[in-house]
Structure 1
């Protein structure tokens, strides 16, 4: 089994991306564990096929992680049985929102364990994408909303992406919902946050599309200038016509200099993807485009995202096309 590195030549900002005209590419089906909602996939390329590890659930909203394969990046065949399901108390109501890295023959899958009170960033490892060893929650008494709002949860962490090469002799991870933090490891199993939860490396930007919260989206790619680029998710509060409030999730981008990996160097000012279609604006949680998977496949970028926590879609970009300027330095 040959797995393509998550690194590839890219420019910041990456894009522009165009949503596939035949989205959604995966929908819920049948009356099984994936009958109600299917969304938020990790992505990688293995043996010249795109592999998606996606979140799905039935009406009980207990999430499992399934697997699907594609020869062209658009049309997928999925397996009937999930590869990861709830087993322990900390995840008894869901294994959610996977991200993945392949390092030295091992797959490292981060996901959210959900017990309907706390969300905890968890880790599972596998040699083959089939047999998984759960390593448990990564961070105790850490709240990634601490610097953003009082969510009443002291044990809250989500969304971890592992850099698949060492920086200064350590492994690095970027994680967080609400704000974004960093952590390091010597063995890829045990991780230590670099700061207290009140000191994020990146916070929401007032007056913009990510003013309510920011969250790491995809695993990184290496730009042609040596910077690490990651797609992100951001949310702002919206007021509906009936006076009720909700959230609007859009997708952004950030870059980090490996020479100074504790700081976000720049961000894309405007979202590269936002809710527009019916599926983007109607679902379990409406008005959501939520990216978690990015691969370079057959000379094209494929960004995989969830639509309103209900269906799964893709947007593509040609490497030879690029945005103009539109950057804003942070920090």
Structure 2
């Protein structure tokens, strides 16, 4: 009897081992020649920014000291200043009880190596008693993307959230700490038709010049991609007022959209600034996987993975390439725990630093992570789960 029990237990353990091995089995992922990657997570570094309950700030709206980054810190922008990497990250206080009910502010952190960061201890962009409070209070300032002009003016696009309608706002700065808010970006065109619809996530076009990413033009105008569900576009002559690109019927022109049975089957949300390359314009974006039959079964339903699309240099509305699978996906525990347990790598910041590309991303809407791509020694992109 003991022998039978032993054999049965051994068989069960063997089956468990096989099942675990199958669950963990992956297959290699290969990128096309035009794409960036693969990016690797530096060992023992992530997450690079986490909540800090000791950090306090006198909130000008409530006139109370609040733990402005006590709950979660995530979704970062990134750029260079004086030879250092600066990350501008979204922080949430503890005033609410779920996503979207707390107040968000933008924090500042800098690094000499792109990996270890020192934080300023107070936010640099936040709701105040100013001419933007109707758009920013009580929800706050969320999900920044930042880029710099050749003359050194930093431009930040962020979500103004009043808990009614999310709007893209823009602010400018010379030092990344003192910002001038210019308000919602779509008010001056088409009679404000697109100013009060939900709009988020702007990826302004940049190019690599003199070893630094700077804001670029196409045929004499600035260009951006934007959108959360679909990807749209807009142009500008002054970086503040933006004209959405429309179709022949006067509606927003859809450039890319969710694809059934792909990792981006639920939405396609713009990521860090787009980049002009010799092959075309690369848009980095965040794809959300549909939780039902329309999603890619290899990835969790509602998970966020990172994709890339290639647009024509001559016609920035024309898609000429798109990854079929993500180049970065939630794999580490800190990318699958916290506020968003389905798994999230939400890319928003990208810098060219010391001949490498540093990608900064939100981890499960809770922390900030970094991944690095060395174009001289490319690593393999994140492997794919086996079917």
Query: Match for residue 364 of structure 2?
Result: 308
Query: Match for residue 53 of structure 2?
Result: 30
CA separation of 1:36/1:212 partners in 2, compared to 1, >3 Å: closer, same or farther? same
User: Map of 1:50-199 to 2, 5 A cutoff?
Assistant: 50-60=85-95, 61-87=102-128, 88-92=133-137, 93-103=139-149, 104-139=151-186, 140-142=192-194, 155-163=197-205, 164-195=215-246, 196-199=250-253
State the distance in 2 between where 1:40 and 1:141 align.
Answer: 29
Which has the larger displacement, 75-84 or 262-271?
262-271
State the distance in 2 between where 1:269 and 1:305 align.
Answer: 21
State the distance in 2 between where 1:51 and 1:276 align.
Answer: 25
Deviation at 1:226, TM superposition (A): 4.7
Report which of the two structures shows the higher radius of gyration computed on alpha carbons: 2
Residue deviations 1:15-52, cap 9 Å, x none?
Answer: 11112222111100124200110011111122221110
* Unpaired segments ≥5 residues, structure 1: 1-10, 144-153, 240-244, 326-331
How many residues are matched?
299
Partner secondary structure for residue 157 of structure 1: coil
State the distance in 2 between where 1:138 and 1:38 align.
Answer: 25
Residue deviations 1:190-211, cap 9 Å, x none?
Answer: 1110115553111112210001
Contact 2:264/2:288 (8 A) holds in 1: yes
State the distance in 1 between where 2:251 and 2:106 align.
Answer: 28
User: Map of 1:134-283 to 2, 5 A cutoff?
Assistant: 134-139=181-186, 140-142=192-194, 155-163=197-205, 164-195=215-246, 196-223=250-277, 225-238=278-291, 247-283=302-338
Residue deviations 1:217-266, cap 9 Å, x none?
Answer: 0112332x252223210001237xxxxx9611000111222211112221
Deviation at 1:12, TM superposition (A): 2.1
Contact 1:300/1:317 (8 A) holds in 2: yes
Alignment RMSD (CA, Å): 2.0
TM-score by length of 1: 0.85
